[in-house]
Amino acid sequence: MDVVKVEQGMMKGVLCDNSEGTYFAFKGIPYAKPPLGRLRFKAPEPPEPWQGIRDASEHGPICPQYNERLQRIEAGSEDCLYLNVYSKTLQPSQPLPVMVWIHGGAFYTGSGNSDFYGPDFFMRHNMILVTLNYRLEVLGFLCLDNEEVPGNAGLKDQVAALKWIKNNITAFGGDVNNVTIFGCSAGSASVSYHLVSRMSEGLFNKAICQSGVCIHDWAYSLYGRQRAFQLGRMLGIDTKDATKLVQFLRDVPVSSLVNIKLPSVETSHIDITDGICFSPVVEKSELNVENFLAETPIDIVKKGRLAKVPIMVGYTSAEGIELGKVFPSTLNFLKTVGAVIPRELKLKFDESRLRDIDEKIRKFYFNGKELNKDMVQEVVNLETDKLFAYNVSRFARYYRHLTSMPVYLYKMAIETERNFTKKTYKMESIPGVCHSDDLPYLFNITCLDIPLTDESKQYIEQFVQLWYNFASTGNPTSTKIAVEWKQFTDKERYCLIIDKELKCILNVDAENMKFWENIYDEIELI
């Protein structure tokens, strides 16, 4: 029977049948009250009950957005706080492990819908997959540093979804004490935010971060309030009064709040990561509202205020293609002093230290040569480490050191016809796996024409098996994997290279990691 009863009422799903077998799908389940009218920009409120049997055969509306993958505006709806539950069986002999996917998209694009995050590969296993929408861009991340709009509504949406799952997943056959949250890019940074936020405590049991952690410069904005007033000016209100601004922004049509392009922020050290206009912020702790994040992520991490759960973290072998794709249009910017230095450090260094570090980084990545338009490979190498790999490794070091929980580090290196993003960027001449090109090995993507060959099927099976093993047992190589993936510690830095052949090796990218540890002055942890 495909009818389940949750706290809000009864709902009817559908039984899906494909070449991988059968599973139940329940889509468009509201996990919070629609954030409309006076609730625009506010933290989510609990969902309301319904009468009768709700039809759960179709996805709910997605957040209004520019769909980056399909390159079009999606009108969606502000009433977008829905999740989807896929379960192998509703009456298992024992409760099923639950995996909760938080989508990425630079906090301004994406949804949990099955056209991109199709559950089929996971549904070979006895488990539950949950995917969800949350508010994006201005709707999800406007911040005015006041009680009306303290910021981080989109992350608070995710907390509301996790609470709903905690309260209701047993109705679908799920194990409420075995919930793994996972995500990629901004979704991965979100996952790691739940590891550091008190608001998320006790809502999950394991976490997987794919190509993103909260300590990345791109994962949080230092200029939330400034961006809000810039937006107001762009839309026609020039005021310094936050109350007037929020009243104005509550009334503008939602289409005015999508795909926003704002001028650079006024700062002495402009940084490429400040191009993400609306994203997580450090909330003002003195406000009389529950905050999600009241200190910078790195301060929370260094204080050891971390969830005590096992984690998997990793990155792809050529993350920096995401930046290399726009080179050499960024050439002049990259030539400016400080452009190659991470924002976190730029804000700490005086002028002479800035110049010294800038020179060291250029010497290391550009071999002492003046950067020119032909050096795309060098730029990709720099951005892979600076914007992704180093801080993933750094987060793993602190996490293991301060929690003593199991940490598994990986580097994804599989290249087949499934690696569609690199092809889309026309960057095939650059070796390695581009940012987000791990996704087609986890999800059945139907909105894009991505081939599925017999060869890539075996890599998909292996990839999903690792993720499922970790979610179900806490050990990614517990079953059906020939190689032992050893835990990462600061002394023994094991890393699983996820390639056509799996290899667990010590000290991956050791020279580059050591270089950045020197730059950050973190050879020895606290």
In 3-state terms, what secondary structure has residue 473? helix
Q: Strands 65-67, 128-132: parallel, antiparallel or unpaired by DSSP?
A: unpaired
Residue count of the chain, please give it. Answer: 526
Rg (CA), the chain: 22
Q: Is the dihedral of CA 100, 104, 108, 114 positive or negative?
A: negative
DSSP label at residue 448? S
Question: Quick check: is 501 catalytic?
Answer: no
pLDDT tens digit string along 30-45? 999 999 999 999 999 9
Mean pLDDT for the chain overall: 96
CATH of 3-319+389-519, one of 2.30.40.10, 3.40.50.1820, 3.40.50.970, 3.50.50.60: 3.40.50.1820
Residue whose tokens read 């990614």: 476
Q: How far is CA 60 from the centre of its chain?
A: 21
Are the CB atoms for 71 and 263 separated by under 8 Å? no
Contacts of 330 (CB under 8 A, 6+ apart): 272, 323, 379
Mean per-residue pLDDT, 290-311? 97
Please state, in angstroms and rounded to a whole number, the distance separating the CA atoms of residues 207 and 408.
Answer: 11
Phi/psi of residue 128, each to 5°? -120, 135
DSSP H or E run through 181: strand 174-184
Say which range, 126-140, 159-173, 266-280, has the weakest mean pLDDT. Answer: 266-280
Strands (E), 257-372: 311-316
Structure tokens at 444: 């059945």
pLDDT at residue 356 greater than cutoff 70: yes
Residue closest to 423 by CA, chosen among 460, 453, 457, 451: 451
CA neighbor of 168 nearest in space, from 45, 10, 34: 10
Contacts (Cβ under 8 Å, ≥6 apart) of 421: 321, 434, 435, 436, 437
pTM over 0.95: yes
pLDDT tens digits along 475-498: 999 999 999 999 999 999 999 999
- pLDDT of residue 2 exceeding 80, the answer is yes
Phi–psi pair at 321, nearest 5 degrees: -60, -30
Alpha helices in 108-223 (DSSP H): 137-141, 153-168, 186-196
* Active-site residue flag, 185: yes
Domain-by-domain residue ranges, the chain?
Answer: 3-319+389-519
What does the angle CA 10 – CA 130 – CA 437 come to, to the nearest 5 degrees? 155
Cα 81 vs. chain centroid, distance in angstroms? Answer: 17
Active-site hit among 87, 111, 114, 185: 185
526 pLDDT higher than 70: no
Q: What does the pLDDT look like over 237-267, one tens digit per residue?
A: 999 999 999 999 999 999 999 999 999 888 8
The backbone region for 266, taken as left when phi is positive above 0, alpha when psi lies in -120 to 50, beta otherwise, is beta
pLDDT tens by residue, 81-98: 999 999 999 999 999 999
What pLDDT was estimated at residue 128?
Answer: 98
Per-residue pLDDT, 483: 97
| Distance separating alpha carbons of residues 203 and 108, to the nearest angstrom | 25
In this prediction, residues 171-184 reach a mean pLDDT of 98
In the three-class reduction of DSSP (H, G, I as helix; E, B as strand; rest coil), residue 307 is classed as: coil
The DSSP-derived string for 420-438 is HHHHHTT-TTS-SPPTTTT
Percent of the chain predicted with pLDDT > 70: 100
Backbone φ, ψ for residue 245 (5° rounding): -65, -45
Task: Tell me the C-alpha to C-alpha distance, in Å, between residue 437 and each of 121, 135, 210, 319.
Answer: 16, 24, 11, 9
Is the pLDDT at 7 greater than 70? The verdict is yes
- Confirm whether 319 is a catalytic residue: yes
Per-residue confidence at 69, pLDDT binned at 50, 70, 90?
A: confident
Distance CA 503, CA 494 (A): 10
Residue in 314, 316, 507 with CA at minimum distance from that of residue 414: 316
Residue 427 has pLDDT above 80, yes or no: yes
Concatenated DSSP letters for 212-271? --TTSGGGSBS-HHHHHHHHHHHHT---S-HHHHHHHHHHS-GGGGSS---PPP--SS--
Question: Taking a C-beta distance cutoff of 8 angstroms, is the pair 188, 171 a contact?
Answer: no
First to last CA, the chain: 55
| Angle made by CA atoms 463, 464, 465, in degrees to the nearest 5 | 90
Contact 469, 477 (CB under 8 A): yes
- Widest CA span in the chain: 70
- Mean pLDDT of all residues in 100-109: 98
Inter-CA distances, 48 with 141, 156, 208, Å: 24, 17, 31
Q: Which of 137, 319, 322, 415 is catalytic?
A: 319
**Is pLDDT at 293 greater than 90 in this prediction?**
yes
Catalytic option among 378, 435, 436, 456: 435
pLDDT at residue 163 tops 90: yes
